[in-house]
Amino acid sequence: MKYINPVISGFYPDPSICKAEGKYYLVCSSFQFFPGVPLYESDDLVNWTQIGHVLTRKSQLPLEGAGSWGGIYAPTIRYNNGRFYMVTTNVTNGGNFYVYTDDIHGEWSEPVYVQQGGIDPSLYFENGKAYFMSNGEDDEGNHGVTQCEIDIETGKKLTPSKTIWTGAGGRFLESPHLYKIKGEYYLMAAEGGTEYGHMIVYAKGKTPYGPFENYPHNPVLTNRNLGGYEIQGCGHGDLVEDENGNFWCVHLAFRMINMWVMHHITGREVY
C-alpha cells in the first residue's frame, strides 16, 4: 500500500477508526464547533470522503459556554452487532456520553450518558459485555486508565469504575483503547501531551482488566527529540485490522512551517 501523509489534512485532530462491512470509518474531535464530530468513509485507508457529522442536533451537542477549550474532546468510533457507536466527552456540558446508529449515512441517536469521569472515552465489546474506559479517576480516587462495564442500552454502570493501568511513565496519560489480538489484550494510550513530546505507548495483559505489563521499548510511536522533522506531535492513535490481517494505526500529528521553525498553522491532522 502506498500513501502520503497526512491522509486527511487540516483541522482533524484525535482520529479514531473502525471497520464495518468492508469499509473503514473515522471520526475526529470538533471542540466548540457545530455540527460536531466529522465522519469519514474509506475503501482503502488512504482515500477518505467526509460523509457527514455525527452530532447534528442541539439536543446532541449543547455548546453553551464552550470556548476554544470546550466542547467535544477525542471521540472513539466502534462497530458491534450491526450498530455503530461514537463515544466522546462534552467537557462543557454533560461529560461522557455515546450515540449510536444502525445506518452510518443516517441520523444518530440522542446522547446516552455514562456516570464515569475523565475524558477520551472508548468502548470495547466482547462476549455480550460492553466495557467503557476513560482516563481520569476511579471510584476509589485512583488516577489512570479507568474502566467499568455498562449496560449498552442505557449507559448504566454494571461494575465500579476501576483503574486498570497508570501508563508507561509519561505525563498526560490519555486516549486509551483496548484490543484483543491473538488471545491477548493490548491497552494503547498516548502520553507526553499533544505537542512535541507526544507519543503512543502500550501494555499487554491476559484479561480486559489486566494486570497490564508495559511494552519494554515504549514509546512505540513518536517523533519527540527528532530535530529537523517537519512532522511532529505524533500520538493519540487507534488501531484497525485490514482485510489481509495487517494492522494499521491512524494518529494525529502536525506539520511545522519549516523543519527548523517550530510553529504550525494547519492544526492537528490525520496520519
Q: Could you list the active site residues? A: 14, 174
Q: Does the N-terminal peptide bond of residue 6 adopt cis geometry, omega within 30 degrees of 0?
A: yes
Residue pair 133/124 in contact by the 8 Å Cβ criterion: yes
**∠ CA 257-71-109 to the nearest 5 degrees?**
120
Name residue, grid cell 530535530.
Answer: 227
Q: Which helix (H) or strand (E) holds 42?
A: strand 36-42
Work out the number of other CB atoms within 10 angstroms of the CB of residue 244.
6
Q: What is the sign, positive or negative, of the torsion defined by CA atoms of 34, 61, 131, 126?
A: negative
**Would you say 223 and 251 are in contact if contact means Cβ atoms under 8 Å apart?**
no
